[in-house]
Amino acid sequence: MSSAENGFGAVEIKAFVPARDFALSKRFYEELGFEIPWSDDTLAYMRLGDTAFFLQKFYVAEHADNFMMHLIVQDVESWWARVQQAGIPGRYGVRTVAPQDQPWRQRDFVLLDPSAVLCRIAQNIT
């Protein structure tokens, strides 16, 4: 019997993303296009369309340095242009790597957030 048949079907999964400077990280993600439907002093629900995660006021360098998120978008080149035109790397002091075709059949670019969380923003390629 599958998990859907026995009543244990999953609906969604959300990561809890660490933030060294909670306010700065919230602004960073908002500038990328995420909205914050709910927030308190230690947790923010970050949503972009049908995708979402929790940003938490929690930081351990070893954890953040090894945390990665992967966002699939429809047009990776438009996302790259938006990040560059908005000056996000310079204003937030974060590193980027330009879009590249990957062997896993996606074109993506790398954007580190203010806590050094690695974000891969990708588009599926056929």
- Number of folded domains that form the chain: 1
Cα 51 from Cα 14, distance rounded (Å): 9
**Buried-exposed string 28-58: b where 16+ CB fall within 10 A, e elsewhere:** bbeebebeeeeeeeebbbbbeeeeebebbbb
Long-range contact set of residues 85-92: C-beta below 8 Å, sequence gap at least 24: 86/31, 88/28, 88/31, 88/32, 92/24, 92/28
Residue 26 lies in a domain: yes
CATH number of residue 82's parent domain: 3.10.180.10
Q: Is the pLDDT of residue 90 over 90?
A: yes
pLDDT category of residue 94 using cuts at 50, 70 and 90: very high
Q: For residue range 34-80, what is the model confidence (pLDDT) as tens digits?
A: 999 999 999 999 999 999 999 999 999 999 999 999 999 999 999 99
Q: Which position has the token pair 């079907």?
A: 9
The pTM (predicted TM-score) of the whole model is 0.91
Residue 48 CA from chain centroid, whole number: 10
**Domain assignment of residue 68, given as a range:** 16-124
